[in-house]
C-alpha cells in the first residue's frame, strides 16, 4: 500500500521555485489568493496539513496550532517571526523556520535608497514636478545634504545592519556607530565601526537606521525620549518592524522639527500608517518593500521550502530553525 505524502499548505502565492521544490516530495495545497488569509480559513486549512508555509501577516498562536496535533513544521516566509508564538510551537514540538541571509542585500540597498531619497529630497522633487511647480534652477533651491563622510548609527548589527554599514563605509566614507547586544570585532577592524550605547548613538549619528527584530524589549524602542536625543539635522530610517518606533511620537517630532526627516518601510499598525505622515515633505514612505526584489524573494522561497524539506525528509537538513 502506497503511503500518503505529507501535505504542505501555503497560505499565499510565493515564487514558483519554492513551490516546485516542495512538490517533488509532498502534496502541496496552495491558496491562490494574493492577500492575507482570513482567520477562519486558516483555522480550517491547518487541520489537514503536516507543514504550514506562512507569510508574516499570518498570526499563528497556540490555539491555531492545537487544531492540528500532527503539525510538524511552520516555515515563515520572512526573517522576522514575531507573527508566530515560538514558545507555543516549542511546547508542541513544532519546528519554526525563517529565511535569513537571502534578503540581506536587498534590504540593505533599500535602506540606502531611503537615506538618499531623504537627504537629496528626491520624493519632494518628484511632487514638485508632478504639480508642474518647478520655477527654475536657483543657487539655494531644494538644497539637500550629502551622505559622504556622515555618521551612520546602526541599531541592530546583524546581517542587514552590517551590510548597510559596509556599503556606507566603502561607498560613502561614512563613520559607523552601532548598538548591539554583542561586539562585532571583525567589523570594528574592517570598517572601524564603534560599539556604543543607544543613547550615545542617537546623540551623535546623522542617520539612525533600525535593524532589530520586534521583541517585547524592542517594542517602541524609539519613542519620544529617544527622538529628543537625536540631532535636529538627523534622519531616522526604519526597515525593521513598524512597532519598533512609536509612530505618533515620530509624527510629533517631525512636525516640531526635532529631527530632519524619516524614511519608513514598515508601520506600527501595518498596513495602515499614522494619519498625518503623508502630509509631510520630510517623510519618505514605501509599502514594506525592503525585500521586494526578484532575487530576494526567490531566495526566500528556496529557504522556506528547504526548511520544510529538512524537517520532514530523512537525511535532509533545514536552513534555519529558530527553535531548534
Which residues form the catalytic set?
241, 270, 288
Pairwise CA distance, residues 250 & 262, whole Å: 8
Peptide bond preceding 271 in cis form (omega within 30 of 0): yes
The set of residues, in sequence order, having a beta carbon less than 8 Å from that of 284 and lying 6+ positions away, is 114, 117, 118, 122, 123, 261, 262, 263, 264
Q: What is the 3 state secondary structure string of the chain?
A: CCCCCCEEEECCCCCHHHHHHHHCCCEEEECCCCCCCCHHHHHHHHHHCCEEEECCCCCECHHHHCCCCCCCEEEECCCCCCCECHHHHHHCCCEEECCCCCCHHHHHHHHHHHHHHHHCCHHHHHHHHHCCCCCCCCCCCCCCCCCCCCEEEEECCCHHHHHHHHHHHHHHCCEEEEECCCCCHHHHHHCCCEECCHHHHHHHCCEEEECCCCCCCCCCCECHHHHHHCCCCCEEEECCCHHHECHHHHHHHHHHCCCCEEEECCCCCCCCCCCCHHHCCCEEECCCCCCCCHHHHHHHHHHHHHHHHHHHCCCCCCCCECCC
d(CA 81, CA 79): 7
In angstroms and rounded to an integer, the radius of gyration of the C-alpha atoms of the chain is 22
Query: Which residue, chain included where needed, has cell 495545497?
Result: 29
Amino acid at each position: 500500500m502506497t503511503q500518503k505524502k505529507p501535505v504542505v499548505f501555503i497560505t499565499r502565492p510565493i515564487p514558483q521555485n519554492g513551490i516546485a521544490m516542495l512538490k517533488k516530495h509532498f502534496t502541496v495545497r496552495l491558496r491562490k489568493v494574493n492577500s492575507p488569509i482570513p482567520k477562519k480559513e486558516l483555522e480550517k486549512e491547518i487541520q489537514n496539513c503536516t507543514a504550514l508555509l506562512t507569510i508574516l501577516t499570518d498570526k499563528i498562536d497556540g490555539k491555531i496550532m492545537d487544531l492540528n496535533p500532527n503539525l510538524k513544521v511552520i516555515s515563515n516566509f520572512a526573517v522576522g517571526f514575531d507573527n508566530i508564538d515560538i514558545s507555543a510551537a516549542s511546547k508542541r514540538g513544532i519546528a519554526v523556520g525563517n529565511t535569513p541571509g537571502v534578503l540581506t542585500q536587498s534590504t540593505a540597498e533599500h535602506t540606502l535608497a531611503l537615506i538618499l531619497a531623504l537627504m537629496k529630497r528626491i520624493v519632494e522633487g518628484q511632487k514638485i514636478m508632478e504639480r508642474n511647480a518647478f520655477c527654475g534652477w536657483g543657487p539655494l533651491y531644494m538644497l539637500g545634504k550629502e551622505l559622504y563622510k556622515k555618521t551612520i548609527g546602526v541599531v541592530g548589527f546583524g546581517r542587514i545592519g552590517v551590510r548597510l554599514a559596509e556599503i556606507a563605509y566603502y561607498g560613502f566614507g561614512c563613520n559607523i556607530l552601532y548598538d548591539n547586544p554583542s561586539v562585532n570585532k571583525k567589523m570594528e577592524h574592517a570598517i572601524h565601526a564603534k560599539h556604543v550605547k543607544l543613547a550615545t548613538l542617537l546623540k551623535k549619528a546623522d542617520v539612525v537606521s533600525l535593524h532589530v527584530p520586534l521583541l517585547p524589549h524592542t517594542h517602541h524602542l524609539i519613542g519620544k525620549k529617544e527622538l529628543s536625543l537625536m540631532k535636529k539635522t538627523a534622519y531616522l530610517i526604519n526597515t525593521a518592524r513598524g512597532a519598533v518606533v512609536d509612530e505618533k511620537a515620530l509624527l510629533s517630532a517631525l512636525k516640531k522639527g526635532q529631527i530632519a526627516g524619516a524614511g519608513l518601510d514598515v508601520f506600527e499598525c501595518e498596513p495602515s500608517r499614522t494619519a498625518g505622515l503623508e502630509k509631510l515633505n520630510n517623510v519618505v514612505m514605501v509599502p514594506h518593500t525592503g525585500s521586494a526584489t526578484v532575487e530576494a524573494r526567490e531566495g526566500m522561497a528556496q529557504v522556506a521550502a528547504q526548511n520544510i524539506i529538512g524537517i520532514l525528509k530523512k537525511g535532509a537538513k533545514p536552513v534555519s530553525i529558530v527553535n531548534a
